[in-house]
């Protein structure tokens, strides 16, 4: 992926409003060839709506959507160079895995030998070789979702649209699927628009992230840009963890890993008592009661020996961000 590469998909001044007034407004997005862009935001912010307009399942009210510079806005879904995978696997239960995968290729009249070869290769790629004769109900959720993704990839779309594809899976499988998707994406160089409500998942897999709020884009940037330089208070609170202080018409924000905790009280510093220490793996979440305010910090486990619940500490901030309210 080259961020200065060619634009694969473009959404230009797009609006889509439902009859009840809900929807998305003023959507502009350039997605580069071979890029994985994630739209992230809470439930109801309009992620699926945008994916469906790209896939052709919802007409747009205003603006345009292009692939390789050509408008696709008037095309039926099956005429678009896109393929979509949903949260529920949508495999046909009465068809074998082979038949599920072959369906779209048969419609496109590919020769049988080529279909078989492509399916075999694709099953290798999604780490499910030999599954041709199985049926969907013999597969785990993670395996079914791999087949759903494989089925979309076999159609060789210009843009693959993934709507919360892993959110029904267990945490462990979910992180494994992330890694595999990243690998497949790199190997094939395919352009992907991924949707999730899980900010950690977005941070983990994306070249760039779009943070959405109530039908509009709040910020577009690399995971690092979004995390280190959140453009708004909303982005700062949605991505990662953040301590906030309101003062007058300003808000200060400090990430827990930027809260420096030292033992003992200190004159002129922010002093407090440790309320809780929770070991979360290689680091601990330490909550400190400073007057009315509870400050959250993350401390490496190796630095924990100086601290105990109830202990006196003072805190400092390594880095903070200011927002106008």
Ligand X SMILES: Nc1ncnc2c1ncn2[C@@H]1O[C@H](COP(=O)(O)OP(=O)(O)O)[C@@H](O)[C@H]1O
Of 27, 29, 45, 72, the one binding ligand X by CB under 6 A: 45
Cα–Cα separations (whole angstroms), residue 107 to 30, 100, 131 = 31, 12, 22
Quick one: which segment of 46-54, 87-95, 265-273, 312-320 binds ligand X (CB under 6 A)?
A: 46-54
CB of residue 260 to Mg ion, shortest distance in Å:
39
- Distance (Å, rounded) from C-alpha 14 to C-alpha 26? 5
- Distance (Å, rounded) from C-alpha 87 to C-alpha 195? 10
- Distance (Å, rounded) from C-alpha 308 to C-alpha 288? 11
CB of residue 39 to ligand X, shortest distance in Å:
8
Is 6 or 22 the residue whose CB approaches ligand X more closely?
22
CB of residue 31 to ligand X, shortest distance in Å:
18
- Distance (Å, rounded) from C-alpha 293 to C-alpha 317? 15
Q: Are 285 and 295 in contact (CB under 8 A)?
A: no
Q: Mark 48-87 with x for binding to ligand X (rule: CB under 6 A) and - for no binding.
A: xx--------------------------------------
Q: Mark 31-50 with x for binding to Mg ion (rule: CB under 5 A) and - for no binding.
A: -----------------x--
- Distance (Å, rounded) from C-alpha 266 to C-alpha 304? 19
- Distance (Å, rounded) from C-alpha 15 to C-alpha 27? 7
Maximum Cα interatomic distance, the chain, rounded to a whole number of Å:
80
Query: Which token pair is 315?
Result: 């805190």
Quick one: which segment of 5-13, 17-25, 119-127, 221-229 binds ligand X (CB under 6 A)?
A: 17-25
196 lies in the binding site for ligand X (CB under 6 A)? no
Residues lying near ligand X in the complex (CB under 6 A): 18, 20, 22-23, 41, 43-49
Binding site for Mg ion (CB under 5 A): 48
């Amino acid at each position: 992926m080259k961020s200065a590469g060619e634009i694969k998909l473009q959404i230009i001044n797009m609006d889509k409003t439902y009859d009840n007034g809900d929807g998305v407004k003023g959507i502009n997005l350039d997605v580069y060839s071979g890029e994985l862009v994630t739209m992230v935001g809470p439930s109801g912010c309009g992620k699926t709506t945008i994916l469906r307009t790209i896939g052709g399942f919802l007409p747009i009210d205003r603006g345009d959507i292009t692939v390789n510079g050509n408008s696709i806005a008037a095309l039926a879904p099956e005429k678009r160079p896109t393929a979509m995978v949903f949260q529920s696997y949508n495999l046909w239960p009465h068809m074998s895995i082979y038949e599920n995968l072959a369906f779209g290729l048969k419609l496109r009249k590919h020769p049988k030998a080529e279909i078989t070869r492509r399916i075999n290769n694709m099953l290798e790629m999604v780490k499910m070789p030999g599954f041709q004769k199985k049926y969907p109900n013999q597969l785990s959720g993670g395996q079914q979702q791999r087949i759903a993704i494989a089925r979309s990839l076999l159609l060789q779309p210009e843009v693959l649209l993934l709507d919360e594809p892993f959110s029904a899976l267990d945490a462990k499988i979910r992180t494994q699927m992330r890694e595999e998707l990243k690998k497949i994406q790199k190997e094939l160089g395919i352009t992907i628009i991924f949707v999730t409500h899980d900010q950690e998942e977005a941070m983990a897999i994306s070249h760039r992230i779009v943070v959405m709020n109530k039908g509009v884009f709040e910020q577009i940037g690399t995971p690092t840009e979004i995390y280190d330089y959140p453009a708004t208070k909303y982005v700062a609170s949605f991505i990662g963890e953040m301590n906030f202080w309101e003062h007058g018409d300003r808000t200060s924000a400090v990430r827990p890993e930027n809260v420096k905790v030292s033992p003992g009280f200190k004159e002129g510093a922010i002093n407090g008592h440790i309320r809780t220490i929770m070991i979360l793996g290689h680091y601990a979440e330490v909550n400190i009661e400073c007057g009315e305010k509870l400050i959250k910090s993350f401390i490496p486990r190796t630095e924990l020996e100086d601290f105990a619940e109830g202990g006196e500490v003072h805190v400092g901030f390594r880095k903070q961000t200011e927002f106008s309210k």
